[in-house]
Structure 1
Amino acid sequence: MYEERFPVLHRRGFLAAGTGAAVLALAGCAGGGTDDEAASGDGPPKRGGRLRAAFAGGGASETLDPHLANLFADVARAKALYDKLADYGPDLAARPRLAEKWEPNKTLDRWQVTLRKATFHDGRPVTAKDVLHSYRRIADPGKAFRAKASLEPIDLDASRATGERTIEFVLKRPTAEFPNVLAAFGAYIVPENASDFDKRPIGSGPFRFVSFAPGRSAVFRRNDDYWDGAPHLDEIEFVVANEESARVNALLGGQVEYAHELNPATARAHEGRGRIEIVRLRNSAMQAFCMKTDRPPFDDRRVREAFFLIADRQELVDGALSGAGEVANDLFGKGYEYYASSLPQRGQDLDRARALLKRAGAEKLKVTLDTSAVAAGFTEAAGIFRDQAAKAGVTVDVRTGSKDSYWSDILDGGTLCCYRSGAMPIEAHISQRLLTDSTTNATKWHHKDFDAQYRQAQSTRDKSRRAAVYERMQRRLYTEGGFLIWGFADWILGTARHVRGVETKAPANTLDWARFDNVWLA
C-alpha cells in the first residue's frame, strides 16, 4: 500500500556525482545574470536561458509516461509536458486547466465538460476523444496507473463525447466534488494514438520534448503555442541527484538553479546568508500518529481522546521537524477548502489524559508504536511521543519497521503507527481513508452514519450547505477519530539567487508547485 499523496523519494538510481557530497557534473549552460543583477530586484520577467532543476529520481526504470508518474521528479516532468483537465490551487480547490468549464445536472450524476482550445505539440487539437482515451487508459484493470482509484466514480462505458470539445461524464453516484476527479494526481491527457512516451512523448503542456536519459536527465524546450502563454525559459533540464548533499552542492556550485527537497538543517544553514534562496512551501505534509479504532486499546473512545491530550504538538514540530512546520489540530487539511478552522486548538493536558485512561481501565497501558525511516522525522516523532506518553503513565514501545514494506505493513497490522500525507482535498482524504469501504483506511474508521454523511455532502449542490456537512464530519473526527494529527511540515526548496517566479504559497503537488513555465532567470 502506498498511502502518501506525494511520493516517497527512494534513495536509488543514478547519482550524477561520484558521491553524495560531490558536485554534479552536468552538461549544458544556464542563462541568467550575475549576482549583482540578481540583487538589484525582480523586475519584469525575462525571456531565455536554460534552468537546471535537481530532483531525486528513480534510476534506469524512469519513464515519461505521465500515467505512471510516482516520484516528485516524474510529476515535475509530466506537468511540463502534459496538462490535466483541472488542477489544485493553493487551497486544494480544483481550478480549470484544459477544461474551460464544467456543469452538473440537477442530481449531480452527470457532468458536461467543455474543453478550451488547445493543441498538442504536433499541432493536433486536444479533443473529447483524447480525454476519454486517456481516462480509459488510466482505468485499464490490467495496469497500475496512479489515478485509477480517483477515476472510479466515472462510468467510462456510458460517458461519451458530445462534440469535438464537449464530454458528458456519466457518474456511478452523485458527486458534487467531481472537479476533484478531473484534477486527480496523474490524470494527464495524452493523444488518442499516444504510444512511445520515452522517445517521442507528445502532450499539450508548456514544454516540448528534446531528450531523455532515464536516471540522468531530461531536456524540454519552450512550447511557443502553449494555450496558457509561452514559458519565459528557452529550456528546462531535469537532472537526477538522489542525495540531498549532491543537490545542495550543485546549487551552491552553480551547476543547477533549482534543488528540490532540502532538509531543515540545510535551510537553517543557508537561509538569509545570500548565496542561495530558500523557499518554504507551507502545509505540504500532514504528520500524524494513526490509531486503529477497531481493536484494543483504541476501540475505546476514551483512550483515543487521552492520546490526543498526551501529545505536545509544539515539541513534536520542534523536535521531529526541526521547527520546519506548524502545529496541527487533529484534522487534515489546515488552510484547505472546507477545513473546520473554528474548532479550538487542542493542547497537552496530562491530568485529563490520566483521568480518561483510568475511566477506561487503562491506567498502566502498554502499546507498540510502529515507525520507520521511510519518511523524515518518523523515528524522531516516535521517540518524542514515547517520552510524552510516559508522563501520563503510558508505556510506548517503539518498533522500527522496514522502509520497503512499511506502508503495507501498517495498513492492517499493529495498533498505533507514524503516518504522513501530502496535499489533497479534504473530500479526497475522507473518501480514500475514512469510509467503510476505503481501500486505504488505516485507522479502520468504520461508521455507516459517517459514510451516509459523506454521501449527503456529495449529493448537496449548494456549496455552503455542503460545507456545513463537512464541518459536522470533521467535528466528529476531532472528538473521536483515529488520526492524531500533530503537525504540518514545510516542503523546502532551494534556488539560485537569480531565479524568479517560483511560487511560495503552493503546497507540493498543487498546480503552482514545480511549475516552471512561470519561472525566469533574472
Structure 2
Amino acid sequence: MREYPGLRRRGFLAAASGVGALALVGCGSSDNDSGSDAGSANDGKPRRGGRLRAAFAGGGASETLDPHLANLFADVARAKALFDKLADYGDDLSAQPRLASGWEPNAGLDRWNVTLRKADFHDGKPVTAEDVLFSYRRIADPEKAFRAKASLEPIDLKASRAVDERTVEFVLKRPTAEFPNVLAAFGAYIVPDATSDADFDKKPVGSGPFRFVSFAPGRSAVFRRNEAYWDGAPHLDELEFVVANEESARVNALLGGQVEYAHELNPTTARAHEGKGQIEIVRLRNSAMQAFAMKTDRPPFDDKRVREAFFLIADRQELIDGALSGAGVVGNDLFGKGYEYYADGLPQREQDLDRARSLLKKAGAEKLKVTLDTSAVAAGFTEAAGIFRDQAAKAGVTVEVKMGSKDSYWADILDSGTLCCYRSGAMPIESHISQRLLTDSTTNATKWHHKDFDALYHQAQSTKDEKDRAAVFDRMQRRLYAEGGFLVWGFADWIIGTARTVKGVERTAPANSLDWARFDKVWLA
C-alpha cells in the first residue's frame, strides 16, 4: 500500500491509537483507468471504472469483516459490499426482497416458506437453503454476542428446515405477520455453510457486489467488482473504505481530493459547503429520531398528566434549529416519520405553556424539579438538553442537566434516572415497538409496561390482512401519542459529502436502509 503524507498533515488519523497516518491505496477515476468504458462525464449515464474511496468513522484495531459482528456504520457499509441479506429495508422501512425472491406464510402466520433467487458466492458455489440455516444458527449461537440474535428470536431454528436447495421453511414460535422484517434485520447476512470465525478476516466469501482484496483493521479495506453479481455488476472497478474517526479529518480528506465520499458530516459543515460547488452535500431525511425519554414507571413521569405537560413544553422547531442547526424536521412524539404504518393523521403537537402549567398544577407538580441525563455521545444531545432546560423554566419546571460518560451512557440511561436524551436510527415501526415498548423488551428505556398494549402488538402480528394490521398499529400509536414516554421532538438528517465526480448516490434512503451506502450503484463521472 502507498502512504499519502498529506493525510498526516491534515490530521487524518486512523482509528487505533498508535497507528500512523492512514494508508490509502490507489486513487480516483480517470479516463485512463484500467477497465474503464468510454463515456462522457457530462451525459449523466453510469460509466464503468475507477476506484471510489469512502471515509467512515471506524472501530480501531479490533475491526473485523465478520458481518454478524457489524455494529458501526463502517462495519455495515463493508458488510453490505461483501454480503447479502435475504431482505433489506426500503425507503419507507418496509422489507424488500434481496437474496430471497419471495416469501409466503401459512394461514396461521407461524410457518413461512422463503424462496431464494439464483445467486452465487464469490467462490462460484450457489447460495442454498443450507447456507441460510447455517448463517441464522450461527447468529443465534448462545455463546456468541451477535447483534441480530434478538431479531431472530421468533424463529424456531431447530424445527426450521431446507425444503430443497432454494426453499427454506421457517417455523416460528408464534404468529408473526411482519416476519419479513426478521429477514431484513440488522446484521442478518448470509454466509457460506461451515464458514469459520477465522475465515472472515483472512478471505471473506460472500454473495455481495464486491469481492475481497485486502483488509487492514483500523485503516482500510479494499474490494473489487463482482462481475457475476446477481443484481448486476457494480460500475466501480474498486471500492476502498478508509478510517477517519474525526469529522474534520473526513471533511479535509474530501476537500483535499484524498477521498470521494465522506460519511456522517455535521450540520455546520454541511451549511458551510452546500451549494458552493466544491463538494456535494447529500441529506438523508428522517434518518435519526431525536427524543427525550421519560421513565413512566417512577415519579414524576408515572403521572400521565406530567408526561403530557412535557410534550407541551417542547418548542420543537427551536430544538431543531438550535440542536441540529436546522438539519431535520419536527417530530410528533411518535417514532418513524415517513415509514410504513406511521400514524400521520394525528395533529402536530405545538408548544402550549399555559396548558402545560395547568396539567402540572392538577398533578400537584407546580414546582417540579427533574434531572435530565445527557452526554456528548451523540450530536446535538448537550445542545438539546440546554434548550429544553430553558423551555421548561418558562413553565415553572426546573431541569438540572447532568452530563454522563460517552463510554457508558446508553447502558446508564436504560434503567437509571427519570429523563434522558435519546436517539434512534431507522428501523421498522414494528421493530421499534417490539424492541422498546413491550413489557419484556430488552431496551425499554421509557419503562412502558402495559399488558393491553402488548396484546395489541400480538394482535397486529396475528393479523394477515395488511389494512387491518395497519389499523392496529395506528391504534397503538394513538395510545403512545396520548400518554407514551418518548417526547420525539425531531428527526435529523443524516449528512454525507461527496466529490462532484460521484454520481448515483441515493438521496431518499434513510441511514440503515437498502440504498444507504449502496456503492454498487455509484459511479465516477
In 2: Cα distance, 1:257 partner to 1:428 partner: 34
Q: Within the alignment, does 1:221 sit opposite 2:224 as a pair? A: yes
Contact 1:16 / 1:240 at 8 angstroms: preserved in 2? no
3-state secondary structure, aligned to 1:485 = strand
Which residue, 274, 284, 287 being the options, matches 2:277? 274
In 1: Cα distance, 2:298 partner to 2:44 partner: 60
Residue of structure 2 equivalent to 1:51: 52
Structure 1 residue 24, shift from structure 2 partner: 6.1
In 2: Cα distance, 1:41 partner to 1:345 partner: 44
Contact 1:85 / 1:182 at 8 angstroms: preserved in 2? yes
3-state secondary structure, aligned to 1:326 = strand
Which residue, 11, 22, 29 being the options, matches 1:20? 11
In 2: Cα distance, 1:192 partner to 1:137 partner: 10
Q: Which amino acid aligns with 2:25?
A: A
Structure 1 residue 194, shift from structure 2 partner: 1.4
Residue of structure 2 equivalent to 1:445: 448
Residue of structure 2 equivalent to 1:518: 521
Which residue, 490, 497, 500 being the options, matches 2:493? 490
Which residue, 420, 423, 435 being the options, matches 2:423? 420
Q: Which amino acid aligns with 2:29?
A: G
Coordinate RMSD, CA, aligned: 1.6
Contact 2:105 / 2:111 at 8 angstroms: preserved in 1? yes
Q: Which amino acid aligns with 1:376?
A: A
Residue of structure 1 equivalent to 2:412: 409
Aligned runs of 1:157-306 on 2, under 5 Å? 157-195=158-196, 196-306=199-309
Contact 2:54 / 2:241 at 8 angstroms: preserved in 1? yes
Q: Within the alignment, does 1:348 sit opposite 2:351 as a pair? A: yes
Residue of structure 1 equivalent to 2:313: 310
3-state secondary structure, aligned to 1:175 = coil
Residue of structure 2 equivalent to 1:335: 338
Deviates more, 1:245-254 or 1:78-87: 245-254
CA spacing shift, 1:99–1:186, aligned 2, 3 Å: same
Contact 1:372 / 1:401 at 8 angstroms: preserved in 2? yes
Q: Within the alignment, does 1:68 sit opposite 2:51 as a pair? A: no
Q: Within the alignment, does 1:91 sit opposite 2:92 as a pair? A: yes
Structure 1 residue 43, shift from structure 2 partner: 1.8
In 2: Cα distance, 1:51 partner to 1:21 partner: 18
In 1: Cα distance, 2:121 partner to 2:218 partner: 26
Residue of structure 2 equivalent to 1:107: 108
Contact 1:25 / 1:255 at 8 angstroms: preserved in 2? no
Q: Which amino acid aligns with 1:406?
A: Y
In 1: Cα distance, 2:306 partner to 2:453 partner: 21
Q: Which amino acid aligns with 1:381?
A: A
Give a deviation string over 1:132-184, Cα, whole Å, max 9, x none. 00000000001000100000000000000000000100000000000000000
Contact 1:38 / 1:498 at 8 angstroms: preserved in 2? no
Gaps of 5+ in 1: 1-14
- The higher relative CO (CA closer than 8 Å, separation ≥ 6) is in 1
Q: Within the alignment, does 1:433 sit opposite 2:436 as a pair? A: yes
3-state secondary structure, aligned to 1:470 = helix
3-state secondary structure, aligned to 2:201 = coil
CA spacing shift, 1:397–1:16, aligned 2, 3 Å: same
TM score, norm. by length of structure 2:
0.94
3-state secondary structure, aligned to 2:460 = helix
Residue of structure 2 equivalent to 1:478: 481
Contact 1:336 / 1:425 at 8 angstroms: preserved in 2? yes
Give a deviation string over 1:243-263, Cα, whole Å, max 9, x none. 111111111111110000111
Q: Which amino acid aligns with 2:451?
A: K
Structure 1 residue 460, shift from structure 2 partner: 0.1
TM score, norm. by length of structure 1:
0.95
Gaps of 5+ in 2: 1-5, 14-20, 33-37
In 2: Cα distance, 1:158 partner to 1:26 partner: 47
In 2: Cα distance, 1:386 partner to 1:358 partner: 19
Structure 1 residue 29, shift from structure 2 partner: 1.6
Q: Within the alignment, does 1:121 sit opposite 2:122 as a pair? A: yes
Which residue, 307, 319, 324 being the options, matches 2:322? 319
Structure 1 residue 268, shift from structure 2 partner: 0.6
Q: Which amino acid aligns with 1:29?
A: C
Q: Which amino acid aligns with 1:149?
A: A
Identity of aligned residues (%): 84
Q: Which amino acid aligns with 1:103?
A: E
In 2: Cα distance, 1:155 partner to 1:301 partner: 39
Alignment: residue pair count: 506
Residue of structure 1 equivalent to 2:399: 396
Residue of structure 1 equivalent to 2:78: 77
CA spacing shift, 1:386–1:202, aligned 2, 3 Å: same
Contact 1:67 / 1:146 at 8 angstroms: preserved in 2? yes
Q: Which amino acid aligns with 2:144?
A: K
3-state secondary structure, aligned to 1:472 = helix
Structure 1 residue 193, shift from structure 2 partner: 2.1
Contact 2:211 / 2:225 at 8 angstroms: preserved in 1? yes
Contact 2:342 / 2:474 at 8 angstroms: preserved in 1? yes
In 1: Cα distance, 2:39 partner to 2:120 partner: 35
CA spacing shift, 1:38–1:289, aligned 2, 3 Å: farther
CA spacing shift, 1:379–1:39, aligned 2, 3 Å: farther
Residue of structure 2 equivalent to 1:138: 139
